[in-house]
């Protein structure tokens, strides 16, 4: 099993939440350090940053779901032209810290992006 932090379309209520059907939500209120950006393509991306926060959820998923999420995020281990990198990062929950997979955007996703100051993709979509 794998733990993954989701912060955009995979979150509960997001357009791609069906990818996580049947997965266990470990934390529905957590955050990690980074900048959340609207890529302009209908989905967000995170850029590492030491003081901004990005909010999301942690799910525990199996190998098959991880493969599906990798495909959605256009990530393949060892490939040069991925849109995202999948790395382990510290995510903070009400119960403490977890080391989980996080998908970080590659440079091409930030060429025309704008910062989501709230760090919360779902609130951003609601205009909050």
How far, CA to CA in Å, does 67 sit from each of 4, 62, 76, 77, 116?
Answer: 12, 9, 9, 11, 28
Catalytic pick among 35, 57, 73, 98: 73
pTM for the complete prediction?
0.92
Instruction: State the fold for domain 2-121.
Output: Hypothetical upf0131 protein ytfp (3.10.490)
Is 98 part of the annotated catalytic residue set? no
Apex 89 CA angle, 34 and 75, nearest 5: 90
The string of pLDDT tens digits covering residues 31-70 is: 999 999 999 988 999 999 999 999 999 999 999 999 999 9
The string of pLDDT tens digits covering residues 62-107 is: 999 999 999 999 999 888 899 999 999 999 999 899 999 999 999 8
């Amino acid at each position: 099993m794998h733990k993954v932090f989701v912060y955009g379309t995979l979150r509960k209520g997001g357009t791609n939440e069906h990818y996580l059907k049947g997965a266990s939500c470990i934390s529905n209120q957590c955050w990690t350090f980074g900048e959340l950006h609207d890529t302009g393509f209908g989905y967000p991306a995170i850029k590492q940053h030491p003081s901004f926060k990005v909010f999301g959820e942690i799910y525990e998923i199996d190998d098959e779901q991880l493969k599906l999420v990798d495909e959605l995020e256009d990530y393949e281990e060892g490939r040069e032209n991925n849109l995202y990198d999948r790395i382990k990062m510290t995510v903070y929950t009400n119960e403490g810290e977890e080391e989980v997979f996080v998908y970080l955007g590659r440079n091409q996703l930030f060429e025309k992006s704008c910062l989501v100051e709230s760090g919360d993709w779902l609130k951003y979509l609601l205009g909050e």
